[in-house]
Structure 1
């Protein structure tokens, strides 16, 4: 590959493929450089080493993981229905990835243990999405809370157990998700409606 055509997106694609091929424990920046037919030094013009590159791969993976959530946020539906669907998608997105893309999910888990910056950004994005729906619900007269951000943090934490890998194989997982989400939505609803 000609060095002139090298850019961050091409490097991210190659790194993702290397992680999928070798797994997050064995993959390294030299493998990425070899797959692109460049020196590993060429990659340092774009990323400050393996950690920086792996963080960028995981950040993009998390963003792609929640594409459906972004579609839900743009739907023209009442806030209670939107919040139910959003929380259900948050719970299922990582479980689906653990099944359909196990190497990238393993990379995410590895990163979660060593670098919280990307993970924290993803958490804040999730909380902000929930806050936006709660604010929509307040405007619609469906939800009644004084502090939407605080409520969003509480809702996120109440449902975060379902994004943990230990919950993925639970026999009553779907029922538990629905029960918790319905309880949270009832707690947010305006009692006068």
Structure 2
């Protein structure tokens, strides 16, 4: 299949890049491999991405967005903030583990890509913190949470649960129990007006 300038777009390039990364790994894969798989010149790829770093960052960013897509639905749930936060944090800590099980090649590649995509990782982290903050603010309005500084509270909640997104935690036989205990502790702390 020959793609011309009109039919080539960022989504097609990202799909091809993911396949190339799966096949060769992030270190060995390059823009020429992506171009070859699309049957275009590497210059055609440069019209959309200014080099390998930009393309690999875009793949990492899309991957992170896709694994956390369910959290958008959680934010729209018609629940009180404490229930919504529990569901959100449960999904947050399980998203990467699900990816490791369902798409192990891309997960392994993500770990390698993430080491060189700190700007993308920081953006994803800030997005997670902002989503938690949104739920905390809802809880303050509902009179469920009593927090003076919602953004700082969201950072603390993110940090307390981020231990569960590390691959070393995925095989822990007490993982689910530990997640539930930590999340319940955090929610109780947000509800405590005597901090």
1:148-163 matched pairs, under 5 angstroms: 148-163=150-165
Mark the runs of 5 or more structure 2 residues left unpaired by the alignment.
Answer: none
1:1-193 matched pairs, under 5 angstroms: 1-191=3-193
Whether the 8 Å contact between 2:60 and 2:117 is mirrored in structure 1 is no
**Which segments of structure 1 move beyond 6 Å, counting only runs of 4 or more?**
none
Q: Distance in 2 between matches of 1:93 and 1:21?
A: 23
State the TM-score, normalized to the length of structure 1: 0.95
Deviations 1:92-150 (A, max 9, x none): 00011011112221222112212210000000000000000000000001000000000
Q: Distance in 1 between matches of 2:25 and 2:113?
A: 13
CA RMSD across the alignment: 1.3
Q: Distance in 2 between matches of 1:155 and 1:179?
A: 13
Q: Distance in 1 between matches of 2:16 and 2:116?
A: 22
> What SS does the aligned partner of 1:135 have?
helix
Instruction: Report how far residue 59 of structure 1 moved.
Output: 0.4
Whether the 8 Å contact between 1:24 and 1:106 is mirrored in structure 2 is no
> What SS does the aligned partner of 1:3 have?
coil
Mark the runs of 5 or more structure 1 residues left unpaired by the alignment.
Answer: none
Number of corresponding residues: 192
Q: Distance in 2 between matches of 1:170 and 1:147?
A: 33
Deviations 1:10-47 (A, max 9, x none): 11111112122333233221111011100111111111
Q: Distance in 2 between matches of 1:96 and 1:86?
A: 15
> What SS does the aligned partner of 2:6 have?
helix
Instruction: Report how far residue 191 of structure 1 moved.
Output: 4.2
Deviations 1:132-182 (A, max 9, x none): 000000000100000000000000000010001111110100000000000
State the TM-score, normalized to the length of structure 2: 0.94
